Chains A and B, each alone.
Chain A
């Protein structure tokens, strides 16, 4: 029987724990934004997208179809990352590090990495790359293989021509490399140091064109550069000349700064216009009439590319992208301006605050309140009833006629307070984004030297050394700036606690001054947590014998983890008196990584996570539940009567903890753990329950003695359904902040995880959505069902009556 009960308990647990993210909610009720540093170098690729390398060495790809959407982002483990694209492959390298990485341009998948030495020269070859390293090794690499070509090569110029790779070495040799990596070597009469450009089988040497196959200078006239086809060009003193076989075949006047040569095209830019001169036909016939000239509106001074029949221009400046596509055949141009949605979070604090209603809505509500308060009770009732009826009538008429009658309607845009503002500092700006969708709400430029951010209802304070600036959370407007006499601004009589070296120092805030009260000093203070001001739904646990196990609910509790005589100890301190209420110590044999300790204190429990390296390498979570004597006349500050403690093992390393809370504290508590792998995991408190039985089988009474009581199992299994970020993989950084805020729905809180690499917001519902119908709830089907039941009732009623009547009669055979 006991086993059956245990089994049933387990089934119930599994059934209730499995409250995963619904697929239809997964990408609508939560969002993630990946941050990266500013893009330092970039290149457009086909299909309206570009790749770039950031100042922090991240390789990113953006799609530019309707907006700038980050497609993939990888962190290249190199300093001073540079890159080269060839077809569908990107090679990233550094001039100071040994390893090169090759990535697939579509997906960002790492194709391969090779250790070739610090890169000195790199060029495209046979769909891959020719790499010359600082250790004089010439290698061919692509996604599949690395092939050593030659050693003892000092320096090279390389290009592709007629299915071969031409490599000019610094000892004046030409290597013609075929796709089987076999090459012929010929001596050439060229001074390597004077080469300034290589195109196909031609090099530009000292302003003259040298043909590598003919091994001679083919154009002696001074030229500036080479076209992809045979001719060269010169551009001096605003005179542009096309030179072929030492003869000027075309000449025109262009401003030097306005001309760009792109393959066989000449692009001439004026203020807001670009002329596209197609010289391909001219190079074949040398007939001026075969020159095609088109022009289009153009004002981008960025990089230009030719993809098929399109000239693509791109510039990425800071967070702004200017992008244009000009179709040469159709003579059509499209310009796009995009904004890169990334932030540089350089301040270690962020806030999740309530989103205020718009000023217009607030004014309307105030006007209504003022109007109502002027009258007596009866008059108010009549007015309210009349207003409701008018609103109802307008609503029905507007639905039927599709006319808008709601011009004077007071629209509450955020009725359940599910929309919050995530406020953080991005470089020199204070930024607020909507927690519902991640869209920017407002930005305000702020002064340097910010020390703290504080929320005060509809405003927030930016704390500087001796002054504070008040900012409206409605629109980010700076309301005022005032002096601060104290480092903190608290209500009179508030107890303020802070860590001072290896002690916890308590102060009382009196007349704008902090007066020291008590001090708790140990060898080393590792972490401390103050009990948050959250509500508790129940003051105790009803036991099977109808008695109550009262929780220890001291609002002034402070939990401290400290090291004393080499032993790690947990202390619970009364914040008013400074008295130690509870102590728990760890075994000396446990080698705990003290940097990994995270501590939370809420309700009647303390939970802390830590990483142990000895005797085993594992992540542990310790739970302490505290119980007190029966409160007298609402006074819950009673001594601790009993306590229990248990440790659990979690499969992944935990780097931060947070406890959930709701408006009235009725909803179950959950512990949110951020793992090193980037999972934001919701662990119900009843799993982390120190009262779980570990020394005997559970009895019927045990099940009645606690909510969802379970036998003790040291390992808390990984449950993918409880990963709040589901398919989104979060990057964990050094300053991870888990922010939580309650809503007007008791079941729901908003949670955000923010660090320099990403921002993620979602809803957390530890007791599921018990006070809110899901969007999938089919109201129409419910109404139809009720209607059908009514019809069935009225149709069958006479039939039943008739049948009953007939049953009173007998039939003669």
Chain B
């Protein structure tokens, strides 16, 4: 009995001595990145603490679970990884990671990490005994919807938004719009004027060649004289 206890204790000591460490690093967090409304959130300025990095032993029963703290350089370390199979999970409350789950196989001399996916596919196994396991940030988690609805917002977010974001473009756009829509609006507001203008344009187009001198514009009196008398009943 005593021998058994002695052997068990000895084995534990040997395991502890030869236990390897697993180091990891999360890359891709921009230094200037700030949480939305960070000042209203406890630990809002502490992005590393919002990562959860856990190593769970999965040899049969879920027996042992270790949690590592992520430091300001987004590095973490598990100092004593016991031989066996473990599940390494990395979850961030703020970022999407390219790989968030690894199967860690450790023996007395090596540690291998295999990323695996929920659909059962396994990634490539890599030896991380003396190297750092690198996980990349590929995006940020978006929790908030922004309520839309204002006309200005709709315009700015429309395909024509790039025009309205620039004053010069906006002036050109409005001017073009007025030139295009002007005759149509005039035909509704003042059909006589519209018709007369159309005639003038037609006359100018017929009587003028490419190099002809510019004809003089008809005077207003002439236009008004040549305008049809109103009030003539349509003949049926």
Chain A residues within CB distance 8 Å of chain B: 18-24, 26-27, 32, 34, 70-74, 77, 101, 104, 106-113, 115, 143, 591, 593, 611, 613, 616-618, 649, 651-653, 676-679, 714-715, 720-721, 723, 726-729, 774, 776, 778, 803, 806, 808-813
Contact = CB atoms under 8 A, between A and B. Distances in A.
Given A104-B72, A109-B72, A73 B52 contact: no
B98 to A, nearest CB: 14
A809 B72 contact: no
Interface in B217-236: 228-235
B147 A24 contact: yes
Contacts of B233: 809-810
A70 B42 CA distance: 7
Contact of A109 (B35, B49, B234): B49
Contact of B46 (A109, A776, A778, A808): A109
Contacts of B144: 20-23, 26, 726-727
A371 B173 CA distance: 68
5 contacts: A74-B49, A108-B49, A143-B72, A714-B119, A809-B231
B72 A111 contact: yes
A111 B35 CA distance: 19
B58 A617 contact: yes
A24 to B, nearest CB: 6
B108 interface: no
Contacts of B214: none
A591 B60 CA distance: 8
Given A70-B42, A613-B62, A776-B147, A810 B118 contact: no
Nearest to B118: A715
B231 A774 contact: no
6 closest cross-chain pairs (CB), A and B: A726-B143, A810-B234, A107-B45, A20-B145, A811-B228, A23-B144
Given A110-B70, A811-B228, A677 B43 contact: no
Nearest to A651: B118
B41 interface: yes
Given A23-B146, A729-B43, A729-B50, A677 B37 contact: no
Contacts of A112: 71-72
Interface in B79-108: 79, 87, 89, 91, 93, 100, 103
Contacts of A613: 58, 60-62
Given A70-B42, A108-B43, A728-B41, A22 B72 contact: no
A760 to B, nearest CB: 11
Nearest to B39: A71
Interface string B28-47: 00000001110011111111
Nearest to B141: A720
B232 A811 contact: yes
Interface residues of B, dominant DSSP: loop
B43 A74 contact: yes
Contacts of B147: 22-24, 774, 776
A715 B119 contact: yes
Interface residues of B, number: 53
Interface in B5-37: 35-37
B119 A72 contact: no
A765 to B, nearest CB: 13
B201 interface: no
Contacts of B71: 109-113
Nearest to B56: A617
Interface in B151-172: none
A77 B142 CA distance: 30
Nearest to A106: B45
B34 to A, nearest CB: 11
A26 B37 contact: yes
Contacts of A27: 37, 40
A806 B147 CA distance: 48
A23 B232 contact: no
A112 B119 CA distance: 37
Nearest to A652: B91
Contact of A809 (B45, B100, B103, B234): B234
Interface string B123-136: 00000000000000
Contact of B229 (A676, A678, A778, A812): A812
A715 B48 CA distance: 28
B69 interface: yes
Nearest to B52: A677
A329 to B, nearest CB: 31
A515 B189 CA distance: 90
Contacts of A810: 232-235
Nearest to B47: A109
A727 B35 contact: yes
Contacts of B120: 616
Contact of A72 (B46, B60, B89, B192): B46
Given A72-B46, A73-B43, A812 B228 contact: yes
Given A23-B146, A74-B49, A611-B62, 11 more contacts: A24-B147, A77-B67, A109-B46, A109-B72, A112-B71, A613-B61, A720-B141, A720-B143, A723-B143, A726-B143, A810-B234
A23 B145 CA distance: 6
A813 B43 contact: no
A613 B142 CA distance: 31
Interface string B192-234: 1000000000000000000000000000000000001111111
Contacts of B230: 809, 811
Contacts of A723: 143
A104 B47 CA distance: 12
A420 to B, nearest CB: 23
A606 to B, nearest CB: 23
Contacts of A611: 62
Nearest to B85: A617
B232 A812 contact: yes
A120 to B, nearest CB: 21
A720 B145 CA distance: 11
A74 B69 CA distance: 10
A24 B149 CA distance: 14
A593 B232 CA distance: 96
Q: Which of B72, B79, B119, B192 has the most CB of A within 10 A?
A: B72
Q: Which of B35, B40, B91, B149 has the most CB of A within 10 A?
A: B91
Nearest to A72: B43
B38 to A, nearest CB: 8
Nearest to B236: A810
A595 B146 CA distance: 40
A136 B147 CA distance: 62
Given A113-B71, A617-B87, A677-B93, A727 B46 contact: no
B64 to A, nearest CB: 13
A104 B45 CA distance: 11
A57 to B, nearest CB: 13
A721 B58 contact: no
B97 to A, nearest CB: 11
A776 B42 CA distance: 27
Q: Which of A32, A720, A727, A728 has the most CB of B within 10 A?
A: A727
Given A74-B43, A111-B71, A809-B231, A678 B143 contact: no
B42 A71 contact: yes
Nearest to A714: B119
A71 B71 CA distance: 18
A27 B41 CA distance: 9
A108 B46 CA distance: 6
A679 B92 CA distance: 11
A727 B143 contact: yes
Contacts of B91: 652, 677
A464 to B, nearest CB: 36
A28 to B, nearest CB: 10
B93 A678 contact: yes
A595 to B, nearest CB: 8
Nearest to B140: A720
A113 B69 CA distance: 9
Contacts of A115: 79
Q: Which of B43, B60, B231 has the most CB of A within 10 A?
A: B43
A726 B41 CA distance: 11
